[in-house]
Amino acid sequence: MFQAVLRSWRVNETRLAGLWIVPTALLLHNLEEALTLGAALPRLQAAASRLLGRPLILPTEPQYQRSLLVLTAAVVGLYVMARLWDGLAYALVVVQAVMALNVGAHVAFALLLGGYAPGLLTALLVEAPVSLYVLRRLRKDAWMTRAHWLLLPLLAAILHGPGLIALLRVVQVSTGSRASAPGP
């Protein structure tokens, strides 16, 4: 029994090789975003409202920060659990694919704001290179099936769009407060 656990651990180590960088990069990125979001939130809200042609009420700074904390803790927990269950290594790959999409979102927000957007620096300097590293490593290690590769963009899009919105809503409801109305 103990030898079977050790053998399975070795398989996990093979698939997890290099994937420690996923929660590490996410932590750095979310830290930058959490620390810079407050100052940019009124500009983001005004720009998004202009783009949509109607007032848009975004979550508050503490709600965003709590969401970032929950997301970061979940991905760190996912990495720890992946060391015990091989199948979760793919979930870490999906997380990094989400972060690759997130790089594009940060560039779009920077263009929308006409300058810096919260998280832009680590999106470009950390998440973009980490995404390339992870994808190259996956190709080299060749443990993902064709179905894994085909599902990857779909899962990333679902998690980055509706998944993120759902997380923000859950945090908003759990805090018992509504998002703040747009400022002047």
pLDDT by residue, tens only, the chain of 184 residues:
545 544 544 545 666 677 899 999 999 999 999 999 998 889 888 888 888 889 877 888 998 899 999 999 999 999 999 888 877 889 999 999 999 999 999 999 899 888 999 999 999 999 999 999 998 988 888 888 899 889 889 999 999 888 888 887 888 788 766 544 444 3
State the DSSP H helix or E strand holding residue 2, giving kind and residue range, or none if neither. Answer: helix 2-16
Tokens (6 digits) for 99:
């972060």
Distance CA 9, CA 161 (A): 34
Distance CA 33, CA 89 (A): 26
Asked if 117 contacts 109 with a C-beta cutoff of 8 angstroms, the reply is: yes
Residue 72's contacts (CB-CB under 8 Å, 6 or more residues apart) are 23, 26, 27, 30
For residue 26, CA distances in Å to 35, 53, 119 come to 14, 33, 11
Closest CA to 99 of 50, 165, 27, 43: 27
DSSP 115-176: S--TTHHHIIIIIHHHHHHHHHHHHHH--S-HHHHHHHHHHHHHIIIIIHHHHHHHHHHHTT
